Amino acid sequence: SLSHTQTPATALPAAEVLTLDTMNPNIKRVEYAVRGPIVQRAMQLEKELQEGVKKPFTEVIKANIGDCHAMGQQPITFFRQVLALCSYPELLNDNKFPEDAKDRARRILQACGGGSIGAYSASQGIELVRQDVSRYIVRRDGGVPSNPDNIYLSTGASDAIATMLKLLVSGEGPTRTGVMISIPQYPLYSAALADLGAIQINYYLDESNNWSLAVGELRRALEAARKHCNPRALCVINPGNPTGQVQSRQCIEDVIRFAAEENLFLMADEVYQDNVYAEGCQFHSFKKVLFEMGPKYSEKVELASFHSTSKCYMGECGFRGGYMEVINLDPAVKAQLTKLVSVRLCPPVPGQALLDLVVNPPQPDEPSYSTFMNERTAVLAALAEKARMTEEILNKVPGIRCNPVQGAMYSFPQIQIPHKAIEEAKKGQAPDMFYCMTLLDEMGICVVPGSGFGQRDGTYHFRMTILPPTDKLKIFLAKVKEFHQRFTERYS
């Protein structure tokens, strides 16, 4: 018989196992503004428009996320031809496809298990693709050597960045790993650090000097952080997201010197490396500059750099392709990294195939070359034009100040919010969130408040992508202008 201390088998415990109080507390600290509440509201408005609900606008223009194809950018023909052939090899018998596309598809398929992109690949990525990535890096960096063994293919750059941060985080309390990130930053960084329970160390970009990065500011942030954590890594985004600046070679040298002196692991997010528009600006990879600084640095500084198929002229976000190259990583740690990525089995193989084409595009003697070059040039030229137009139009609006969009795909203008609107907002949300929500509700324009990226206290911004088609971008900017003037009058 049951003693009175035992529960009868029929009575189940009342409490849920997983509640907000019992779940992983780190997850609750994660925020990701580019898909946050403002975007959920935009989707709700779109739904209401489809259902015939009357609004003061006929469509929602979403400029919240760097999703090129969703904003009307056309895929590169050659890439899609080869991916079609890889997905359905029967098409290799079809004479509609150019021979170079077929050759590329055969070459990729031969490197896949069972000749199919439906097979798992090696955890670090298909060896052939890693070799092609290495050759691409050597060409890009003017002959600096690259070892395919140091290349890790990934599910977009985001996955590799999160993996690298995971390796770096250790310690408790004052020995907990601190990671330096630029403010404004891309919220992947703050989200990943919150998830890992790491300490976020903010260093501020200088808005008055075109969002430049100053070593004095790095030193200030580092010294303040050393009082409460163990700073071990420095993340740099170049070209900048959300700020659109392109770093000078001199600046990159200064950052590398700083990392060497302070013994910091460098992470270079270079996913916008083809998106450089401004006169006199040029992309310099951290790896190239590191090696040009000589063995004192190139044999010492630990560096992970990241690239992706999601941005530039490709814009193939949905394929989730990317890579990371690691330099001077301790061999024992590298073995642990390989083990860690093997738990995830492998990055998406179609994304790996796409990456192979990005790093090994059609050559001048191949039939697809001229179409490829025309398409690539047209996409980048259109973005350069939209970058110029965005800066020009926004700077004509009293109360909005916009730095030149030198590169990447975003503008991060500063907005003056009247005191009354700040007071109104403080009842429930950040002032720039209040501004962006009102802009969305009244104009159907979806941008992300600067508070989602970080900004200096007392300043307000929003991030917008420059991706909408030119005619739509003109409407978009005109609506922002109209709204800003009306909002300012209402709360002045």
Per-residue pLDDT, 186: 86
pLDDT in tens, 195-251: 888 989 999 999 999 899 999 999 999 999 999 999 999 999 999 888 989 999 999
Q: How far apart are CA 427 and CA 373, in angstroms?
A: 53
Tell me if residue 481 falls in helix, strand or coil: helix
State the pLDDT at residue 359.
94
What are the residues whose beta carbons fall under 8 Å from the beta carbon of 174, sequence distance 6 or more?
228, 229, 230
* C-alpha span between 487 and 482 (Å, rounded): 9
pLDDT of residue 355: 95
**DSSP-derived secondary structure letter, 303:** E
Find residue 178's DSSP bridge partners.
Answer: 199, 231
Phi (first) and psi of residue 234, to 5 degrees: -130, 120
Going along the chain from its start, the domains and CATH numbers come out as 31-73+372-491 (3.90.1150.10), 120-359 (3.40.640.10)
Kindly report the CA angle at 76 between 351 and 341, in degrees rounded to 5? 15
Q: Quick one: pLDDT at residue 279? A: 86
| Mean pLDDT in consecutive groups of 10 residues from the start of the chain, 492 residues | 61 79 79 77 92 91 83 91 94 91 94 88 87 96 95 90 90 91 89 89 93 94 95 93 91 96 95 89 95 95 93 85 94 90 84 94 94 93 92 94 91 92 86 93 92 89 91 92 94 88
Position 261 scores a pLDDT of 96
| Mean predicted lDDT score pLDDT of the chain | 90
Distance separating alpha carbons of residues 74 and 87, to the nearest angstrom: 20
Q: What is the pLDDT of residue 9?
A: 66
pLDDT attached to residue 8: 60
